[in-house]
Homo-oligomer: A and B are copies of this chain.
C-alpha cells in the first residue's frame, strides 16, 4: 500500500466533499500547485485509491425511504454457498451493502426499499431456503441521524 502524504490526504478530503472542486481551488487549499494536484489525482486514480465520482441522491425524495438492517444466517458455510450468496446480493438493487461478519450470523446487509410491501416481496424472493438461508433478522431504521461517505484522512 502507498503512503499518503499531507497533499494526498488534503486532495482526498476535498474531493470526497465535492468531486467537482476546480484544480485551482484544490491547489490553494492544500498549499500546492495545480500541476502537482493534477498529477497526484491521476496517480490516486491509477492506484485505485480514488475509485470514482458519483452523485448522491436523497433516499426519501427519490422514493426509497425505508432502510433495513438485515442479518442473514446460511445453512452451511462452505465457500461455494458463501460465494453464491454474495453474488446474488451483488445483483440485487435493493441491497446497498453486504458484509461478511463473524458471530451468530454470516452476513449483514443494508437494504433500501420503497415500502414495507416491497421489503416483504424482497425477502420472499431472496431469503429462501433455496438460497440456503436458514435465519433472517430484520431491523428497521426509524431515522437516519448521519449518512457519510467521506473518510476524513
Contact = CB atoms under 8 A, between A and B. Distances in A.
A123 to B, nearest CB: 17
Interface string A69-111: 1000000000000000010011001011111111100011000
A108 B141 contact: yes
Interface in A23-67: 47-64, 67
Interface residues of A, number: 61
A12 B62 contact: yes
Given A49-B62, A108-B69, A153-B63, A146 B97 contact: yes
Nearest to A112: B151
Contacts of A58: 48-51
A95 B145 CA distance: 11
A150 B89 contact: no
B101 A139 contact: yes
Given A20-B53, A67-B99, A149-B149, 14 more contacts: A1-B61, A12-B62, A16-B55, A19-B53, A49-B62, A51-B58, A52-B55, A52-B56, A62-B153, A69-B101, A90-B146, A95-B146, A97-B148, A107-B145
Interface of A: 1-2, 4, 12, 15-20, 47-64, 67, 69, 86, 89-90, 93, 95-103, 107-108, 112, 139-153
